[in-house]
Amino acid sequence: MSFKRDDDQQNTAQIDAYDASHLFWDEIQRLDFAFRDLQREDVSESDIEEFLHVCEPVWTVLNRIQKKKKNGPQLSLLLFNPRVLP
């Protein structure tokens, strides 16, 4: 079962077996369930430090996704140089 936001459910009729994007939402769901069970007293200072350290790459990816969404689709321009051909 994949986690889907309400507004996404209208856009996805079924999961494509060859599309791994559902794994992204599965991981988000796992995080959500893990956070629900935690209490403030369960988390030590070293847990916080470790968590913040491993979150940096995740935030890098999420920020890149947000930036890509904000900027819209990018078009690539392929230039043809006839002198390069054999």
Query: Is 4 in contact with 24 (CB distance < 8 Å)?
Result: no
Per-residue tens of pLDDT for the chain, all 86 residues:
444 555 555 555 566 777 888 888 899 999 999 999 899 999 999 999 999 999 999 999 999 999 998 888 766 666 666 666 55
Query: What is each CA distance from 66 to 1, 11, 30, in whole angstroms?
Result: 25, 19, 21
Dist. CA 68–CA 70, nearest whole Å: 5
Domain-by-domain residue ranges, the chain?
A: 6-65
- H helix or E strand, kind and range, residue 74: none
**Which tokens is 37 given?**
């069970």
User: pTM of this prediction?
Assistant: 0.52
Which tokens hold the place of 86? 């054999």
